[in-house]
Every structure is written in C-alpha cells, then in structure tokens.
C-alpha cells in the first residue's frame, strides 16, 4: 500500500513558490463558499508515522486558510469529564458544525494501532475496533460530512534520517522523544499494523490518502491540492442531491399481525395494590441509587409512546424516588440551531450523564425512525440507516457501564380519544391538545408500523425495549419502575462485557 509513497517525491522550490499563491487563493475561496453556504462540515484527519510532519502540515493548512473557521484538535490526555463517558464522546464534542473545518491529529485510530502493536489487543479486537470506526465514519458521511483522511508515510530509511536531523538541530531536538526511537525500532510491526488498519478502513466515502512525508514541499502541496479538490467537488455539486431510494420498504407482516397488537391492554392494577407496589418499588429504586456500586455505572432511561400515553406521569414516578441531584430529565423538542448544524445523534451525546447519575429522556433519538419517518422529514435511506446507527450508539453506552432502559408506552385508539377529550375539557395548558396531536392520530396505522419496525430492529439483548401496556396508568407506572429496578440490579456488581 505504501509503494507510491516511497518513490522519493519532491517538489522544487521554484515550482512550490509558483504554485502556492493560486492554491491559497482558491482554498480561501472555497472556505468562504463553505462558510456561507453552511451545507456540510469538513473533517480532516492527519495521521501517520512518527515525525512525518503531521503538526507542521496542520499548521500550514491553518496558515493557508482562514484560521477563524478551522478548529484543530490534537489527541491528549482524557479529562475526567471525558472518562465518565464512552470513548467517542470527546470526538462528538469536537465535531465541526456545518460550514466549518475540523482538523484532527491522531484521533480514533491512535489507540487501536498502538495497542495492537504493543500486543495489548489481539487482531480480532483490532478488527472489532476498526469495524466500529468504519461505522462511525460512515454515519458522519451519511449525515453529510466531507471526510478527508491523510496518512503521512516515511520509509524506514527516511524515518531514521528524519529523526536524526530533527535531533541534530537544537531548535527541533525537543521534538524527538525516547518513544519515537522505541517506535522506530518497531518499524516493521507498525508498518504491518498500519497497513492492515488503512486497508480495513478505507471506504468510498472516506478513503485514506497516503502521502509521502519526507519532502515538506511535496507534502504540503499534495495535501493542499487534495483538500481543494475535495472541497470544490462538493461545493460545485448541486445542492442537496435527492437520494435515490433503491430499497423501498418491504412489508413482512402479510397477515397483518403486529407485535403491538399482541399486547393485552386490558391489564389493570387496582388502586389499593398500586399504592403498596408504588412504595415498594420506589423504595427499592432509591436504595439502588445509593448502592455503593451505583457510582460506577450510569443509567439512561428513554420514554417513547403514543401521544397521551402517560410518559410524563411515569417519569415523575421515577424522579419522586430519587434525589434530585442524581437525575436530569431531558425533554426532546425541536433541535436548536447549534444542533441542526450537527449529525442528528449529536444532541443526545451532549446529554449523557456522569457516572452515578440518571439521564431520563422524554422522547429520544428514536424520533428519527418515528416522527421523522412518518412525516417524511428525512428520506427512506436516512431512517433505514438510523436503526444501525442507533444500535451502535447504544452499544457504546452499554460498553461504557451504562444501563440503557427503553420504554414504549402503548395505549389504544379508544383510550387516546378518551384522554384527548378529557384534556380538552379540563383545559390544562400542560396538556394542551394541538392540531398536531389530532393529525398524528390520523396517522395511527403508519405510526404503528414504524413502532413495530423500530422494536424489531432496535430491541437488542444489551438494550431491549420494554413494551408497557398503558391503558391503565397505575399498571404502566409499576411496570416501568419494576423494569428499571430489575435492569439496574442485574447490572450492579457485574462488569460490563465487551
């Protein structure tokens, strides 16, 4: 894979001097178009062999373009706020919004590479990590990001020469560390693992671009031109190309039997039993939240359900049991403009809890495959890929000691009508019935289909859906509390698997 990057590419000074001014002009031009159109974010990764000039290259890109609209992120020690979240959280925080450029040095490739070279993870685990990276990058691309991944390569001879020359010059000698020499002695091993990694993670949307690193002029010019070309291509393409829909939805339930219909919505809990059960389960939940092991996990609870199914009431039965310092309830409304400039999952990553805390979502990332699907806010391809993206997201949470509990609160059409009418009569503003509610009701069938698909595609062993029969509020609330307790109990004291 590195053959073409060991040919001794060189650009002479005169050519360089001649080519730079128009390149800079064109790059600035493209950057302004990007900024003004705000059509997509640009993510540039700069990775490669030690001392192949990654930092210098990033500095040049900042110099050539307008640094006010570039954010550079280097790998560094995790802060404790980052340690309490899944490993990718730090990168989500740093994603550039639409119209901006984010440059990452090192990034999500660093630790799998190093760990495999050092032997702390085997090839199978390396491949598992790479597979996750592929899915992450694909998601970003599908969400519109322009992705450029540069790998700066040096042959063994070139690297040795470079380390020595940096070391000799007093102004750069500080840049060569013992680790660099240690890694140099492991050149073959690094070479081998890097190749495996690049091969596995080069995709049509986000290909690796391998650049010979020994001649700075060649390196800068190559990368500058590649960035320009990619930017220009995307900017000049027609806006928001309509996605083809190659795979129209296929109906499986030819007999009309759906999972939601199997629920016995007549389930009831008499008031007398309810009070007793409520105290019992709320007490249990409270004790669990003060369990010594609870500090090591976090809990994400999401509520979805038909309109008027009683999500708010169920949430309140949970928060009543907890110290207010331990939870945060996030109602999901329309995204803010900062959120609209990011991939759709970004606004949920923001709200992930510290360890020892609960994050409760009133509606959630499943909006993508429910309201956005039914109302046509995103294309078929977009919501189809969301199932996998959501599963990946939840897998990351679970791997990072998070208990993910998902409730679908189900009521039937008659019960909903009854509740709508009651609300209209009482006229509480907090239960205001809007035209939207009535409109959603007219799409009952479509929503039901979407819910069934959602359950089939995202109810996983690590993050199962709990369907809650909610025609009777008391029954629903107790089932919610009981499920939550059981899930937390079964995770306490257990190490999260991989």
Question: Binder to a second copy among 27, 49, 95, 105 (CB under 8 A)?
Answer: 105
**Phi, psi at residue 380, to the nearest 5°?**
-55, -45
Q: Please, what is the minimum distance in Å from the beta carbon of residue 289 to a second copy?
A: 12
Spatial separation of the C-alpha atoms in residues 37 and 238, rounded to whole Å:
12
Q: Which is nearer to a second copy, 63 or 279 (CB)?
A: 63
Find tokens 């999401």 and name the residue. Answer: 302
Spatial separation of the C-alpha atoms in residues 332 and 361, rounded to whole Å:
7
Find tokens 């803010």 and name the residue. Answer: 336
Our finding on whether 434 is near a second copy (CB under 8 A) is no
Q: Which is nearer to a second copy, 132 or 419 (CB)?
A: 419
Q: Which is nearer to a second copy, 319 or 496 (CB)?
A: 319
Q: Which is nearer to a second copy, 363 or 399 (CB)?
A: 363
* Non-local CB neighbours of 63 within 8 Å, separated by 6+ positions: none
Our finding on whether 430 is near a second copy (CB under 8 A) is yes
Q: Please, what is the minimum distance in Å from the beta carbon of residue 451 to a second copy?
A: 22
- Give the start-end residues of each E strand in 37-194: 42-48, 70-74, 101-105, 146-153
What is the CA 330 to chain-centroid distance, rounded? 18
Binding piece for a second copy, criterion CB under 8 A, among 63-71, 190-198, 234-242, 253-261: 63-71
Total count of residues recorded for the chain: 498
Annotate 130-148 with DSSP letters as a single string: HHHHHHHHHHHHHTT-EEE
Report the candidate in 281, 277, 300 with the shortest Cα–Cα distance to residue 486. Answer: 281
Q: Which is nearer to a second copy, 124 or 324 (CB)?
A: 324
Our finding on whether 59 is near a second copy (CB under 8 A) is yes
Our finding on whether 338 is near a second copy (CB under 8 A) is yes
Binding piece for a second copy, criterion CB under 8 A, among 32-40, 255-263, 378-386, 478-486: 32-40
Binding piece for a second copy, criterion CB under 8 A, among 117-125, 240-248, 330-338, 394-402: 330-338
Our finding on whether 282 is near a second copy (CB under 8 A) is no
Q: Which is nearer to a second copy, 52 or 103 (CB)?
A: 103
From residue 334, give the alpha-carbon distance in Å to each of 285, 344, 347, 363.
31, 11, 11, 11
* Non-local CB neighbours of 397 within 8 Å, separated by 6+ positions: 86, 300, 352, 404, 463
Q: Please, what is the minimum distance in Å from the beta carbon of residue 423 to a second copy?
A: 13
To which H or E segment does residue 127 belong? helix 123-142
Q: Which is nearer to a second copy, 146 or 318 (CB)?
A: 318
Q: Which is nearer to a second copy, 94 or 395 (CB)?
A: 94
The backbone region for 67, taken as left when phi is positive above 0, alpha when psi lies in -120 to 50, beta otherwise, is alpha
Our finding on whether 158 is near a second copy (CB under 8 A) is no
Our finding on whether 157 is near a second copy (CB under 8 A) is no
Angle at 435 between CA 312 and CA 369, to 5 degrees: 60
Q: Which is nearer to a second copy, 31 or 402 (CB)?
A: 31
Binding piece for a second copy, criterion CB under 8 A, among 309-317, 371-379, 414-422, 473-481: 309-317
Binding piece for a second copy, criterion CB under 8 A, among 30-38, 158-166, 218-226, 415-423: 30-38
Question: Binder to a second copy among 236, 429, 445, 461 (CB under 8 A)?
Answer: 429
Spatial separation of the C-alpha atoms in residues 369 and 385, rounded to whole Å:
10
* Structure-block tokens of residue 261: 């219909």
Binding piece for a second copy, criterion CB under 8 A, among 328-336, 384-392, 406-414, 451-459: 328-336
- Give the start-end residues of each E strand in 156-254: 208-212
Question: Side-chain half-sphere of 152: how many Cα atoms within 13 Å?
Answer: 27
Q: Please, what is the minimum distance in Å from the beta carbon of residue 317 to a second copy?
A: 10
Our finding on whether 103 is near a second copy (CB under 8 A) is yes
Spatial separation of the C-alpha atoms in residues 136 and 92, rounded to whole Å:
11
Contacts to a second copy from residues 354-383, by CB under 8 A: 362
Our finding on whether 66 is near a second copy (CB under 8 A) is yes
From residue 464, give the alpha-carbon distance in Å to each of 178, 394, 395, 409, 493.
48, 10, 11, 14, 20
Question: Binder to a second copy among 190, 220, 327, 475 (CB under 8 A)?
Answer: 327
Question: Binder to a second copy among 255, 264, 324, 461 (CB under 8 A)?
Answer: 324
List of residues contacting a second copy (CB under 8 A): 28-29, 32-33, 36, 55, 58-59, 61-63, 66-74, 79-81, 103, 105, 174, 290, 312, 315-316, 319-320, 323-325, 327-331, 336-338, 362, 429-430
């Amino acid at each position: 894979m590195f053959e073409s990057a060991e040919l001794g590419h060189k650009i002479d000074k005169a050519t360089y001097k001649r080519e730079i001014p128009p390149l800079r002009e064109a790059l600035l031009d493209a950057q302004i178009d990007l900024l003004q159109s705000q059509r997509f974010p640009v993510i540039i990764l700069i990775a490669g062999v030690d001392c192949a000039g990654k930092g210098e290259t990033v500095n040049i890109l900042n110099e050539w373009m307008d640094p006010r609209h570039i954010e550079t992120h280097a790998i560094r020690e995790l802060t404790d706020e980052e340690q309490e979240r899944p490993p990718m959280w730090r990168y989500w925080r740093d994603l550039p919004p639409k119209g901006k450029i984010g440059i990452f040095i090192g990034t999500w490739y660093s630790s799998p590479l190093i760990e495999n070279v050092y032997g702390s993870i085997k090839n199978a685990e390396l491949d598992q990590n790479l597979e996750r990276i592929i899915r992450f990058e694909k998601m970003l691309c599908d969400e519109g990001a322009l992705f450029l991944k540069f790998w700066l390569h040096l042959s063994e001879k070139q690297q040795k020469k470079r380390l020595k020359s940096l070391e000799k010059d007093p102004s750069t000698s500080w840049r060569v560390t013992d680790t660099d020499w240690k890694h140099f002695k492991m050149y073959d091993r690094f070479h081998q693992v890097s190749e495996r990694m690049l091969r596995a993670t080069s995709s049509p949307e986000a290909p690796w671009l391998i650049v010979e690193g020994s001649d700075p002029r060649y390196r800068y010019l190559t990368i500058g031109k590649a960035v320009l070309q990619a930017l220009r291509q995307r900017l000049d393409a027609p806006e928001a190309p309509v996605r083809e829909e190659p795979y129209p939805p296929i109906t499986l339930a030819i007999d009309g039997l759906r999972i939601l219909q199997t629920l016995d919505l007549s389930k009831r809990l008499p008031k007398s039993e309810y009070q007793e059960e409520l105290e019992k389960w709320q007490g249990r939940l409270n004790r669990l939240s003060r369990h010594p092991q609870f500090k090591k996990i976090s809990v994400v609870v999401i509520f979805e359900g038909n309109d008027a199914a009683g999500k708010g009431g169920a949430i309140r039965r949970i928060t009543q049991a907890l110290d207010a310092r331990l939870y945060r309830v996030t109602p999901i409304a329309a995204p803010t403009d900062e959120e609209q400039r990011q991939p759709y999952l970004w606004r949920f990553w923001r709200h992930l809890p510290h360890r020892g805390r609960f994050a409760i979502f009133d509606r959630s990332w499943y909006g993508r495959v429910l309201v956005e699907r039914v109302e046509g806010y995103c294309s078929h391809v977009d919501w189809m890929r969301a199932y996998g993206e959501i599963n990946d997201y939840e897998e990351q949470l679970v791997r990072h000691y998070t208990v993910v509990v998902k409730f679908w609160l189900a009521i039937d059409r008659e019960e909903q009508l009854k509740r709508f009418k009651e609300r209209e009569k009482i006229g509480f503003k907090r239960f205001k019935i809007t035209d939207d509610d009535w409109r959603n009701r007219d799409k009952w069938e479509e929503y039901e289909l979407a819910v069934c698909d959602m359950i089939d595609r995202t109810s996983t062993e690590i993050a199962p859906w709990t369907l809650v029969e909610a025609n009777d509020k008391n029954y629903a609330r107790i089932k919610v509390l009981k499920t939550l307790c059981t899930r937390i109990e079964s995770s306490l004291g257990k190490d999260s698997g991989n």
